[in-house]
Structure 1
Amino acid sequence: MEFNRSHRVYDFMAVRKYWIAFSIAITIVSAILLIKPGPKYGIDFLGGTELTVQFDGNVDAARVRAVLDRMGHDHSEVVPTQRANEYIIRVEKSSPITAARREQIRRGVAERLPGTTGGGTLGDFRLSPGGDHIVVQFNDSTLNAQQVAELVRAAGANVRGDAALQMGALDDHRWQVPLVGIGDEIFRGLVAPDGVGAEGRLNASVWVSPKAGAELRYAALRAVAYSIVFIMIYVAFRFDLRFAPGGILALVHDSLVTLGFFVITRKEVTISTVAAILTVVGYSMNDTIIVYDRIRENLAKRRNARMLDVINLSVSEMLSRTILTSLTVVLSVSAFIFIGTGVIRDFAWAMIIGVLAGTYSSIYVAAPFTEWIDSRFFHDAHAASAAEPPASDAKTADV
Structure 2
Amino acid sequence: MRLRLVKDDLNWDYFKRSRLWLGISAVMAVVALASFFVQGLNYGIDFRGGTTIRTETTTPVDVGEYRDALDQIGLADVVISEVFDPTFRDDQFVAMVRIGAQEGEEAVSTDVIDRAEAALAEVAPDIKFISVESVGPKVSGELIQTAALAVSLAIGAVLIYIWLRFEWQFALGAVLALVHDVALTIGIFSELQIKFDLAIIAALLTIVGYSLNDTVVVFDRVRENLVRFKSKDLKEILKMSINETMSRTIMTSLTTLIALIALFALGGDVIRGFVFAMIWGVVVGTYSSIFVASAVLLRLGVKRDWSKPTEGGAGTQFGDVDA
Corresponding residue number in structure 1 for 2:127: 201
Corresponding residue number in structure 2 for 1:372: 299
Shift of 1:202: 6.0
Moved over 2 A (4+): 1-6, 49-61, 63-68, 76-82, 86-96, 181-192, 196-207
CA contact (8 A) 1:50 1:183 kept: no
Normalised to the residue count of structure 1, the TM-score between the two structures is: 0.63
Q: What's the Cα RMSD here? A: 3.0
Shift of 1:89: 4.3
Alignment partner of 1:212 out of 135, 139, 149: 139
Structure 1: state its 5+ residue gaps.
97-180, 380-399
Which residue identity lines up with residue 67 of structure 1 in the other structure? I
CA contact (8 A) 2:163 2:170 kept: yes
Corresponding residue number in structure 1 for 2:174: 247
Instruction: Please give the residue correspondences for 1:269-308 in structure 2 after superposition, counting only pairs within 5 Å.
Output: 269-308=196-235
What does the per-residue CA deviation read over 1:220-258, in whole Å, with 9 as the maximum and x for residues that have no partner?
000000000110010011001111111001001111111
What does the per-residue CA deviation read over 1:88-110, in whole Å, with 9 as the maximum and x for residues that have no partner?
643335353xxxxxxxxxxxxxx
Shift of 1:317: 0.5
Structure 2: state its 5+ residue gaps.
56-60, 83-95, 305-323
What does the per-residue CA deviation read over 1:316-340, in whole Å, with 9 as the maximum and x for residues that have no partner?
0100100000111111122211221
What does the per-residue CA deviation read over 1:21-63, in whole Å, with 9 as the maximum and x for residues that have no partner?
11101111111111121111111111122558878997884x7
Corresponding residue number in structure 1 for 2:155: 228
Alignment partner of 2:49 out of 38, 47, 50: 47
Shift of 1:79: 6.3
Matched, 1:94 2:96: no
Alignment partner of 1:185 out of 114, 134, 138: 114
Instruction: Please give the residue correspondences for 1:1-399 in structure 2 after superposition, counting only pairs within 5 Å.
Output: 1-50=3-52, 61=68, 64-65=70-71, 67-68=73-74, 76-78=76-78, 89-92=99-102, 93-94=106-107, 96=109, 184-190=113-119, 199=125, 201=127, 206-374=133-301, 378=303
What does the per-residue CA deviation read over 1:99-153, in whole Å, with 9 as the maximum and x for residues that have no partner?
xxxxxxxxxxxxxxxxxxxxxxxxxxxxxxxxxxxxxxxxxxxxxxxxxxxxxxx
Which residue identity lines up with residue 90 of structure 1 in the other structure? G
The structure whose residues are more often strand, as a share, is 1
What does the per-residue CA deviation read over 1:60-81, in whole Å, with 9 as the maximum and x for residues that have no partner?
84x744634xxxx7xx335688
State the alpha-carbon separation in 1 of the partners of residues 224 and 299 from structure 2. Answer: 19
Q: Secondary structure at the match of 1:12?
A: coil
Shift of 1:184: 4.0
Shift of 1:207: 2.4
State the alpha-carbon separation in 2 of the partners of residues 369 and 27 from structure 1. Answer: 15
State the alpha-carbon separation in 1 of the partners of residues 21 and 48 from structure 2. Answer: 36
CA contact (8 A) 1:50 1:91 kept: no
Shift of 1:182: 6.2
Normalised to the residue count of structure 2, the TM-score between the two structures is: 0.77
CA contact (8 A) 1:42 1:268 kept: yes
Corresponding residue number in structure 2 for 1:148: none
In structure 2, relative to structure 1, the CA distance for the partners of 1:67 and 1:301 (3 Å cut) is same
State the alpha-carbon separation in 2 of the partners of residues 56 and 307 from structure 1. Answer: 57
CA contact (8 A) 2:70 2:116 kept: no
State the alpha-carbon separation in 2 of the partners of residues 58 and 239 from structure 1. Answer: 56
Aligned pair count?
280
State the alpha-carbon separation in 1 of the partners of residues 66 and 223 from structure 2. Answer: 63
Shift of 1:187: 2.3
CA contact (8 A) 1:39 1:268 kept: yes
CA contact (8 A) 1:56 1:200 kept: no
